[in-house]
Structure 1
Amino acid sequence: MKSKRRKARELAIQVLYSWQISKKIVLFETEKYVIEQNKKYSLDKIYFHKIVTGVIKNIFYIDKIIKKNISKKKNRLDYIEQAILRLASYEIIKRLDIPYKVIINEGIELAKIYGSNKSHKFINSILDKIITNKNNIKIKNF
């Protein structure tokens, strides 16, 4: 059985994916819809809301962090990979209560479920670089 936070991350990826494509979705309504469609699952709704709004609120800063640690152009990333990297980067910088190993593992698992067949290796590599270079990130801007 999946943890409540794992389910929150999965649903957050879906919302972020939709937001990345449309940029016009009404966040509150989308969150409400996703929760309603998944009410049979155990879900940490507070965490879900915090990570979705946290990523979107800090999107430009998060994208700068990703861009510094990636060789591909950000706009050439698959939308799913981009959503996973954005979510995990937010957790690395903002959620100090979550061990890095957990964040990387969650990112890898999400990539295995939703990404292409080699996405998990790519996600692992980028998240590892972000963590390695974390001391160079200016937290005050976040």
Structure 2
Amino acid sequence: MSEVETTNDQNPASKRKEKKPSRSQMRSASRRLALQAVYQWQMNQSAISEIETQFVMNEDQEMSVCDKLYFRELLQGVTASAKKLDGLFEELLDRPLSELDPIELAIMRIGAFELSQRLDVPYRVAINESVELAKGFGATESHKYINGILDKLAQRVRREEIAARRNS
């Protein structure tokens, strides 16, 4: 076969290994999927196991590039402790919880879960990831609202971490 007839399959450049996503990219994908799953749970109160199975079995989802264990922890943790999480940020809201957009509520719950339960996730990461979810899925200005509420919540539940960051 001449060089002219060489196909892309024989071209070494086309055989480059696909880059494996970083841990932070995998966690971000987990959060995006968890947001969709929590939203679904909020809207129709399906069993968590049923929702989780739908996401895991759906090959169109980002499951291949997400941290599946983290997705599961977010989905199960947020839904199991939704009332407790709501209580963490409800008094910080400028409106009744019932008036929050369902996407905003799901994002707030995920952010509150990470801030209160996942101390291994830096507070700035938890807030920023929630803001990014709001930019991607929420209303036009919802990211600003979510940022403000979660920042106030972080002042309460991550006081030591914030003080240490300021003193360094």
TM-score (normalizing by structure 2): 0.76
What's the counterpart of residue 165 of structure 2? none
State the distance in 1 between where 2:63 and 2:141 align.
31
Shift of 1:133: 2.1
What's the counterpart of residue 16 of structure 1? 38
Identity %, equivalent residues: 36
1:11-50 correspondence runs (5 A)? 11-23=33-45, 25-37=46-58, 38=61, 41-50=64-73
What's the counterpart of residue 81 of structure 1? 104
Summarize the Cα distance change of 1:30–1:130 in structure 2 as closer, same or farther, 3 Å threshold.
Answer: same
Aligned-partner residue type, residue 26 of structure 1: A
State the distance in 1 between where 2:44 and 2:143 align.
25
TM-score (normalizing by structure 1): 0.89
Q: Is the 8 A contact 2:56 2:63 kept in 1?
A: no
What's the counterpart of residue 139 of structure 1? none
For structure 1, the residue ranges without an aligned partner over 5 or more in a row are: 137-142
Does 2:29 match 1:3?
A: no
**Structure with greater contact order relative to length (CA < 8 Å, sep ≥ 6):** 1
Count how many residue pairs are aligned between Structure 1 and Structure 2.
135
Q: Is the 8 A contact 2:131 2:147 kept in 1?
A: yes
Which structure would you say has the larger Rg?
Answer: 2
Shift of 1:22: 1.1
Does 2:128 match 1:105?
A: yes
State the distance in 2 between where 1:41 and 1:116 align.
28
2:78 alignment partner, one of 47, 52, 55: 55
State the distance in 2 between where 1:40 and 1:33 align.
11
Shift of 1:40: 6.2
For structure 2, the residue ranges without an aligned partner over 5 or more in a row are: 1-20, 160-168
